[in-house]
Amino acid sequence: MAADSQNGVVASEHWTSTDSWSFWSFGLGMLLENYIFSMASIATGWVPMPKYLESLLLAWSPIWLIIGIAVAGPMADYIGRKNTFYTTMALYGIGAIGIVFSNTYVLILLFLAILLFAAGGEMNTIMAASHEMMPHKHRSKTMMLELNFINLGGVILGIVSLFTAYQYHGFQRGMIGITLLVVLVIMLIARRKTPESIRWLERKGMNERAKAEIEKYYGQEEYEARRLAAKLATEQSKSAGQSRKVGIPLKLFVTITTAFAGSAGFGLMTYVLGPHYFPNLNAAIILVATGTGFISGFFGFWADRWSRKSLLLVGYGGTFLITLIIWLTTGGWTKNLALFWILLVLLNLFVNIGYLTEDTLKGEVWPTKTRGTYTALVRFVSIGLYIATIYITQNFGLNAYTLFNSIIWAIGLAGAVAWYIAGAETGKGTSLDVASGE
């Protein structure tokens, strides 16, 4: 009977225009994050530079990304999700205009730093807000599809870079900057039509403002239907014995190990392999890797039906096996580019399954009042470790480099196995209250 009641209530949840604006607002924010993060790899060709400066430029992306994450995580918990978004968008505008005129190494570093700081804060805030704002029956699906815009950002940058690769470098910078500004304007329009997180407002005791936001953006009846759907899903999980309590140490171990593998493993093959070993294929590698991820990312349409624990295990297990194959066949794919592209596509199919699942998980397992801060902590540590791998591997031969990549994915697999055995199920229509332990 409870299940029937739940199905009736879930069916009464409606996808509103506010949800559409929120979805596009979050998706475009994710797109810009990867567009900007990938830019440093392209920028290695903008001005002549020695090897050590090239390594600094490649490390520049994660360095400033984590600084933005460290600031914006607590900020979003303190001043709200929406105010944080307006701050990051203002910085996007400054950085986009500046990068167009950056014709020296110093200016490139300066305006990339501004853009990356904003991107780190933007994505972190989206990962907190989306779980809190989307309808219960679409929570997982919308999060994964928003994350798939990250792949689209890489695809767009790869296309712009390929089409401008043989043009004057100033023209390439201009095209990249103008594209960024166009997306930013569209995102600003969407943000003005999205509310503050009602869940965050209520946890902070701002009940009157929460009521005003509900009335303005959803209507009382629609929002009550959402509350009841989530409540019934929580009760159903409890009655089925599926609402397992998971401690903070296990959550941190799983999210940090999987996030580190996702950042470092993907980054070393997509953003560092090209500049170090295949400079003429740099833009193409970014395009193929992110294009594969974007196409495969549409599995997110079924995310509310599937097990998050199983998807995490499949993604990291498959990626580890493919990286082992890449290491064992180094002598083959370095001489046969067709084999290289096949392996890169297969690798990124599994990478993307693990990546979208892991990024969804690490924003949903924390309490609302500290969701931004804990998500930031995990991303700060994992991306910080990725920075270390860029320097550790800068003098590696290709064989050692690919072996090192396999070891990184083994670390991620350890986290996925731990969550599969001892973690809580946060997929299959689980409510955010159960997923977060609240």
| Residue 394 φ/ψ, nearest 5 degrees | -65, -25
Helix (H) or strand (E) holding 31: helix 17-43
Q: How far is CA 42 from CA 150, 157, 172, in A?
A: 17, 9, 10
pLDDT in the model for residue 44: 67
pLDDT in the model for residue 241: 63
Buried/exposed code over 208-229 (b: 16+ C-beta within 10 A; e: otherwise)? eebeebbeebbeeebbebbebb
pLDDT in the model for residue 391: 81
pLDDT (tens, 9 = 90+) of the chain, 438 residues, equals 334 444 444 447 789 999 999 999 999 999 888 888 877 767 766 777 666 776 777 778 888 999 999 999 999 999 999 999 999 999 999 988 888 888 788 888 898 899 999 999 999 999 999 999 999 989 999 999 999 998 888 787 777 767 665 556 666 677 778 878 888 899 899 999 999 999 999 999 999 999 999 999 999 999 998 889 888 888 887 776 666 788 999 999 999 999 999 988 887 777 677 666 777 777 788 788 888 888 989 988 998 899 999 999 999 999 999 999 989 988 888 788 888 888 889 999 999 999 999 999 999 999 999 999 999 999 999 999 988 887 888 788 888 888 999 999 999 999 999 999 999 999 988 989 999 888
Residue type for 56, please?
L
pLDDT in the model for residue 418: 97
Radius of gyration for the alpha carbons in the chain, expressed in angstroms and rounded? 21
CA dist 229 and 9 (Å) reads 6
pLDDT in the model for residue 9: 43
Q: How many CB atoms lie under 10 A from the CB of residue 399? A: 13
Contact predicate 256/415, CB 8 Å: yes
CA dist 283 and 275 (Å) reads 10
DSSP secondary structure string for all residues of 47-79: S---HHHHHHHHHHHHHHHHHHHHHHHHHHHHH
pLDDT in the model for residue 7: 46
pTM for the structure as a whole: 0.86
Closest C-alpha among 253, 250, 271, 256 to residue 382 = 256
CA dist 90 and 191 (Å) reads 13
